[in-house]
Amino acid sequence: MQSLTQHQGLVAPLDRANVDTDLIIPKQFLKSIKRTGFGPNLFDVLRYLDEGYPGQDVSQRPLNPDFVLNQSRYQGTSILLTRRNFGCGSSREHAPWALEDFGFRVVIAPSFADIFYNNAFKNGILLVPLDEDTVERLFQEVEASEGYRLDVDLEAQTVTTPSGEVLSFDVDGFRKHCLLNGLDDIGLTLQDEEAIREFEQKHRQAHPWLFRDNQREAS
Amino acid sequence: MAGQTLYDKLWSQHLVKERDDGTALIYIDRHLLHEVTSPQAFEGLRLARRKPWRLDANLATPDHNVPTTLKERAAGNAGILDQVSLIQVQTLDDNCEAYGIEEFRINDARQGIVHVVGPEQGATLPGMTVVCGDSHTATHGAFAALAHGIGTSEVEHVLATQCLLAQKMKNLRVRVEGKLGTGITAKDIVLAVIGRIGTAGGTGYAIEFAGSAIRELSMEGRMTICNMAIEAGARVGLVGVDDTTIDYLRERPYAPTAAQWDAAVAAWRDLVSDDDARFDKEVVIDAAEIAPQVTWGTSPEMVAPVFGEVPDPAGIADDSVKGGVIRALEYMGLAPRQKITDIRLDKVFIGSCTNSRIEDLREAAKVAKGNKVAKSIQLAMVVPGSGLVKRQAEAEGLDRIFLEAGFEWREPGCSMCLAMNADKLGAGEHCASTSNRNFEGRQGYGGRTHLVSPAMAAAAAIAGHFVDIRGFSQQPQQPQQPQEA
């Protein structure tokens, strides 16, 4: 996983609540067996005027000029500013894969859906929750000034605006540690291999029916 | 000390290790796999030269991509015309074979939607932790199992370590008390709950569904409710164990037998919230007040009783809510204050992990019996949740009822719930669907989904528009009147 300590980037506003995972990456692109290459189809329905399908040359597709990511002032964006309950719906990790592949490293919103929250951090994307009023104010600032950039500091848990205002945000300690260091969860968990084996042994004794190999022995 | 909630009990029974920072390692008893969210996880295992921790905890079946017509299915994987879909299904087969994971392949009678298959096999048991790379894993909570969806990185993590990194959720209890009206089903309950608390109302919570109306439900009904906990934002939905749970599981292929069954049942009896358990939040709903529900918008919280109407954005004060409603009405092609019963339908879909079990098909068949699908409906399809559900339905003659009424009778799979196979809506088409999500484009590019119960979907197929199931005669309708008036 890519680490993230500090990030400065251009902000793009997606003014919409309850952005669901079907909207982030539609199902026809979930047929890939790879983790990469989803960026061109991020927000596919909003971005293009036609229906997309896997394996297409997207450069030939008609762009929706009204969609924020198609506007010239937001080219090169890496911070998405959006509304509450971002990422609701399915557990598809293709959603953060698409955001990451497009170039987003940070998403700012009043709230995020639970499964998406987990998936994003596992792919090096920092989710920054800020209250509704602050998000509203940031929307106004972004729209008012072209080239609006934010400075995100994960270590300090702050977002700094161009005017120098410093906003603090919450992030849980474990996810922060992993993201700062680009750590692989599985490697970390396997450091506890002995504890897992010990638990498993006791669990098997207390609930033998949860282990099918026990049932075969019993029957 | 206050008693424990069901969720608290399941959590502490699976806690391997708790870190100072609040994250915990929890042990996973059952891991279900399907073709869409597993290939990258297996690839990760291979690259890291890791092996699955415990093979017998895993069970796989292809469901999202499989075709549902008999012609295509007769050819097995070779019948999958979409080459990209075929590769995904084939990859699941190859991975399961390479690692020795049990899989019900495309034409195994036990194949089906993973959330129908697990319970049906008794592979989902009370007191288990159950995970799957699919958000509707919440379904299995109906068995007092701690069940939730995970992403692909977590699929790989579970395969490699038999554990998951997790944080404890808060407890929310939704009590549905009293008696349901005639024709009101589990689907109406859960849509009403989502309408009340919103699509983010359960975020951060495990929801336990309790109360006399929930106790009265069959396991199929309870699964429908837990299945849609995620549509209220909660990863976990739960129902405590009672006789209904235990009776359902007896003699299922994966369920314990003989002395182990007795020991298991004794342990399962404790899988209920203690009387003095404390919940962080509680919502009480009067069952008698629940009417048949129909969604009109592009989020499951955009729901109304069938006799109601589409909202008028002009009357909404909150700007962001108002904007959402305006956008939804535009997408759905509906006018403010339009009556729900005036929504004209093009297609009807009865199926999905929410409503494709035998009880769902029986309810729909009761309505379809002796009736005909309206001429204005282009396609009305019934897709059983598994090969075994299909077999059972055919043994009861339900397939004949559907076919005679003009419905198509298909092979099991996720089908038009998310349209990853060939079953999809065309742009602008309205569909009465027993599935779980009405997001934009969910059932096909530009498609317009209305979520309803199986009986409501069947009645809508016959009438050509939504009708209140409570006023809908179970007797054959009069010969088709032209509805185009």
Report how far residue B294's alpha carbon sits from residue B484's, in angstroms, rounded to the nearest whole number: 22
The DSSP output letter for B16 is E
Is there a contact between A33 and B40 if contact means CB atoms under 8 Å apart?
yes
- The model's pLDDT over A78-111, given as tens digits with 9 standing for 90+, comes to 999 999 999 999 999 999 999 999 999 999 999 9
H or E element, residue B207: strand B205-210
Range of the domain at B284: 1-290
pLDDT band at residue B20 using 50, 70 and 90 as cut-offs:
confident
Task: Answer yes or no: is pLDDT of A219 > 50.
Answer: no
Contact A101, B159 (CB under 8 A): no
Looking at residue A172, which CATH number applies to its domain?
3.20.19.10
Domain-embedded: residue B476: no
Residues B145, B170 within the same domain: yes
State the pLDDT at residue A215: 59
Please indicate, yes or no, if residue A32 is contained in any of the structural domains. Answer: yes
Within a domain: A147: yes
**Distance separating alpha carbons of residues B279 and B282, to the nearest angstrom:** 7
**pLDDT at position A213:** 78
Q: CB-based contact (8 Å) between B204 and chain A?
A: yes
Which of B251, B268, B290 finishes a domain?
Answer: B290
Domain boundary among B290, B315, B338: B290
Q: Are residues A15 and A120 in the same domain?
A: yes
Using an 8 Å CB-CB cutoff, list chain B residues near A83.
320
- How many Cα atoms within 13 Å fall on the side-chain side of residue A49? 8
Say yes or no: B360 and B275 in one domain: no
Last residue of a domain, one of B290, B321, B339: B290
pLDDT at A1 over 90: no
- Local confidence band at B81 (pLDDT 50, 70, 90 cut-offs): very high
Q: Over 60: is that where the pLDDT of A216 sits?
A: no
pLDDT band at B313 (very low <50, low <70, confident <90, very high): very high
Considering the domain architecture, whether residues B137 and B170 belong to the same structural domain is answered as yes
Looking at the structure of chain B, the number of domains it has is: 2
* Segments of chain A assigned E as strands: 6-14, 79-82, 106-109, 126-129, 149-153, 158-160, 166-168
Task: Indicate whether B272 and B370 sit together in one domain.
Answer: no
- How far is Cα B449 from Cα B460, in angstroms, rounded to an integer? 13
> A111 vs B203: CB contact, 8 Å cut-off?
yes
What's the CA gap between B315 and B331, in Å, rounded? 19
Query: What is the Cα–Cα distance from B46 to B53, expressed in whole angstroms?
Result: 13
Q: How many domains does chain A have?
A: 2
**Residue of A88, A93, A200 with shortest CB distance to B27:** A200
Q: Are residues A146 and A207 in the same domain?
A: no
Of A54, A88, A177, which has the smallest distance from its Cβ to B200's Cβ? Answer: A88
Q: Are A56 and A74 found together in one domain?
A: yes
Judgement on whether residues A150 and A209 belong to the same structural domain of the protein: no
Instruction: Identify the CATH number of the domain in which residue B318 sits.
Output: 3.30.499.10
Q: Which residues constitute the domain of residue A218? A: 185-219
Q: Do B459 and B379 belong together in one domain?
A: yes
Report chain B's terminal Cα–Cα distance, integer Å.
66
- Say if residue B269 is in the same domain as residue B162: yes
**Same-domain pairing of A175 and A210:** no
ipTM of the complex: 0.94
Contact across the interface for B162 and A203, Cβ inside 8 Å: no
A1, part of any domain: no
Whole-number pLDDT of residue A212: 85
Residue B480: the pLDDT is 47
Interface of B with A in 133-152 (CB under 8 A): 133-135, 137, 148-152
- CA atoms within 13 Å, Cβ hemisphere of B261: 14
Share of chain B above pLDDT 90, in %: 95
Residue B391 has a CB neighbour count (10 Å cut-off) of 14
Phi-psi region of A85 (alpha: psi -120 to 50; beta: other; left: phi over 0): left
Q: Is the domain of B416 the same as that of B304? A: yes
